[in-house]
Amino acid sequence: MRIPDIPEQERNDQDVDTDEGNSISELQAASIDNQPLIKAILLHSLPLMVNNVVVAINQFGSAIIISSMGSDVIAASAYVSAVSSVLIFPAEMILHALQPILGSKVEHPKETGSIVKETIVFGMILSFPLMVALLFTEPVLVLFGQNPKLAKIAGDYFLFDIFRLPASMTIQTLLQFFIASKRERLLVPVSMVRTGADLSVSYLLINAAKLDTLGWRISTVVHQWISLGIILTYTKLDKSFKEYDLFHLNSNGANLTDGLISMWRTFKDIIRIGLPIGIQLCFELAARFINPLMLGHKSSSALTAYHITSQYTHAFTLLISSLSTTSCVLISQALGKGFYSDPKRIGLLATGIGAFISFFPFPVFCTMPRLLASFLLKKDSDDYEEIQAYSRFMFPIVGLGMIGLSLKYISTGSLRGYGKTSLPMMADFLGSLVVGVGLSVLLGFVLNRNALGIAIGEMVGVFIAATIIFRNFIRTSTLERGYDYLEDNELDHTSPSGQQQSNSPINLLSRPNPPNSFGNSSKISPRSSSSRRGSLEEQQLLERADTNVQHP
């Protein structure tokens, strides 16, 4: 039986109507499909953001208390921040490897508890080489030609600070455990406890007891151990942690050899996943260590202004890092469940939210630099006006650089969700360290633009690193799915049996849309539907030809 032909004009009119109707419905469906992703991103990142806001309040409060001791201590605290950025923060970032490690063990609380305890031991071991390195802070700063008086203040600070490292590493381990075990809401009360302990102890020792720098050094040790004691007490009393056996050394009943083998495996996993993360942060913050050294050669007022702007930058970084963590966790969950259509959208949506947030500081920094600097300055200091003059042009540059920081951090977290940590590490080396510091030297010293040139060089380096990392995320998420995002049919690449299926039009049309990781069916984009309609017409022509052969 021959299928009657449809007039060409009528067929074209039907195709146009169908295309328009399908395009509108598919665009609406795609918009609806993004809503649960945005909701998931916001719900996961909100506790992290609140936690980081509390941490930022703690840091600003500490900076205000420190500023009461004079501009010399403020300048020395810039050295303290720089040294901590190079040594302590990267070591703590290595422990972020616990997020993917523990994420796969959530259904096995005994094993999760063992990994947490083994990681605490790892953090203790990692503390010892850091302690030794921090003992040489003063001679190293003097070797680089820094102000001996300021180097002495910073060196004396780290003589006390080394005793807080074991407590700090243990707290970081427990925080990553909370995030991986779906207890990120606990971060907020934990941060409140730490903030209260830090600010109260600092105020009592520095201002009330009039111990000045000695009180500053003592408070940094005391408040960490108080915070750790409170956190451990809470985990001991909360019954929901009982199944993890965190307070039993050998909860699995393994012998010594098996226990050491298990601990070594955990150490290797942490190093394999976390070391590139720590090295990347080290490259980024090494630039922030070199820039204060260069500013110290120019002017102590410029160094103080740089430290003031860094306090605001670090507060913003804490806010954006929550979106980076959220992007990493949600992408890992989507990939673990085999939903290849979600990760790219998660990364792009998180990046968009971060970009939206990062635009707000720029007009504030451009219009109110003097007011922002005055919060962290002692008004009766001799160099008050000179510091304000440096802050006037450094704040707008820092505000513009925050947009690049947002793009870089969230793209890095998205790539980490794919298990890609090497390229962000190399991008920060090339952008932040090589180009950024090189341009700072060129503008600040060769062209004699002083603090202005150094600030511009750091900002340009951040944007270069951010561009490389974001571009690689787009490429990685496209290759992982096997087709271009704009021509995306958002179908899973694997069959229920786990075997690879062909992406031919026939297989794509015969496969149902799997639900995405947030409970909605994957939607089909307009462009992909157009291409598949063309393939469907070709298939109908072939079937029509077969019919003609069978029924002449």
Q: Output the pLDDT for position 255.
A: 77
Task: Indicate the DSSP class of residue 500.
Answer: B
Distance, in Å, from the CA atom of 493 to the CA atom of 511, rounded to the nearest integer, reads 10
**Residue pLDDT tens, the chain, 552 long:** 444 454 555 545 555 454 444 443 443 444 445 678 888 888 878 888 888 888 878 888 888 888 888 888 888 888 888 888 778 888 888 998 887 777 666 667 888 888 899 999 999 999 999 999 999 999 999 998 888 998 999 999 999 999 999 999 999 999 888 887 778 888 888 888 888 888 899 899 998 888 888 998 999 899 899 989 988 988 888 888 888 888 887 766 677 888 888 889 999 988 888 888 888 888 877 777 787 777 777 777 888 888 788 878 877 887 788 888 888 877 877 776 666 567 888 888 888 888 888 888 888 888 888 888 888 787 777 788 888 888 888 888 988 888 999 999 999 888 887 778 788 889 989 998 899 889 988 988 888 777 788 889 889 999 999 999 999 999 888 876 543 333 333 333 343 334 443 333 323 333 334 444 444 434 434 334 444 444 444 455 444 544 444 444
Q: Output the pLDDT for position 440.
A: 87
Structure tokens at 51: 């936690």
Rg, C-alpha atoms of the chain: 28
* Residue whose tokens read 């901590």: 84
* Alpha-carbon distances of 83 from 134, 140, 293, 455, rounded to whole Å: 8, 10, 11, 19
Amino acid symbol at 79: Y
Helix (H) or strand (E) holding 231: helix 213-237
Asked if 457 contacts 412 with a C-beta cutoff of 8 angstroms, the reply is no
Asked if 106 contacts 182 with a C-beta cutoff of 8 angstroms, the reply is yes
Cα–chain center distance at 129: 25
